[in-house]
Amino acid sequence: MNNIKKVATINDLSGVGRCSLTVSIPVLSTLGVQCCPFPTAVLSCHTGFDNFTFLDITDEMIKYKKSWDNLGMDFECIYSGFLGSEKQIDIVLDFIKEREEALIVVDPVMGDNGKAYSTFTKEMCNKMKNLVSIADIVTPNLTEACILTEEEYSKNYNDEKILDIAKKISSMGPEKVIITGIIRENKVVNFAYDNEEKSFFKVESDFNNKSYSGTGDIFTSIVIGLILNGHDLNYSVEKATEFIYKTIEYTSKFNTDTREGIMFELFLKELFLINEHK
């Protein structure tokens, strides 16, 4: 009997710049979970770089999904990240609806710093709300949380307002809402709301004024891996936050290009130990 849990990880594959599938695969594997990539696009490096190639494989996604359907592939978790079109969101919606027993985790990648990405249309944002509505856990940043709730974006929201936004997102469907990467002076704050427990907590770490690509993908992958291994939401968010902070602190010593992401590879052993703790 195969006791390794599978995660269908729907995201792009970028050759350079630690993000998306290139971080989810090693992080989930270290946490004892099988990462089954479901690629949406192949890039030479992520779009934060000045020069990159981009291969859209939306049509291949349809055949990819059909192949897994024909094989009767089931997954303990389905995790979706960046989706580049309404058609891709529809494919993911269909894929999830056929596997309702899985834990559904949606990172609704739509924007940052108060603005939606230029590629995201209003129609795509509305489709993303449909995807969020069938999720169990969602991990938006503050910009994405405001887009989902149609709230005006502000960097200065207090805890009470963040809780209100999290509850509005939860009322759309997801039981657990984690609003990530809120900057407050010299702190980065991750907020989590559990509708089932009616609980709300936040985890803070120091902010060194550098923002690295891919940290959100690593954060969500850690949370998924820990939860699938029986850890609760509080522990999972706390340990994911600590891991990101420690890795950023180390990476910042080398003055690397922030677009290349954080040197998480050197800390995977610590993830293994975090997971072993009960």
Q: What distance in Å separates the CA atoms of residue 198 and residue 122, rounded to the nearest whole number?
A: 31
Architecture of domain 6-273: 3-Layer(aba) Sandwich (3.40)
- pTM here is 0.96
Under-70 pLDDT residues of the chain: 1-2, 278
Residue 31 CB neighbours (<10 A):
25
Where do the structural domains in the chain lie, given as residue ranges?
A: 6-273
pLDDT of res. 1: 44
CA quadruple 88, 35, 69, 42: dihedral sign: positive
Distance from C-alpha of 252 to C-alpha of 183, rounded to nearest angstrom: 18
Axis-axis angle for helices 268-276, 215-228 (nearest 10) = 30
Residues contacting residue 234 through CB under 8 Å, at least 6 positions apart: 192, 201
pLDDT for 2 equals: 61
Whole-number Å distance between alpha carbons of 85 and 65: 16
pLDDT at 123: 92
Beta-carbon contacts of 108 under 8 Å, excluding residues fewer than 6 positions away, are 128, 131, 132, 138, 140, 144, 147, 148
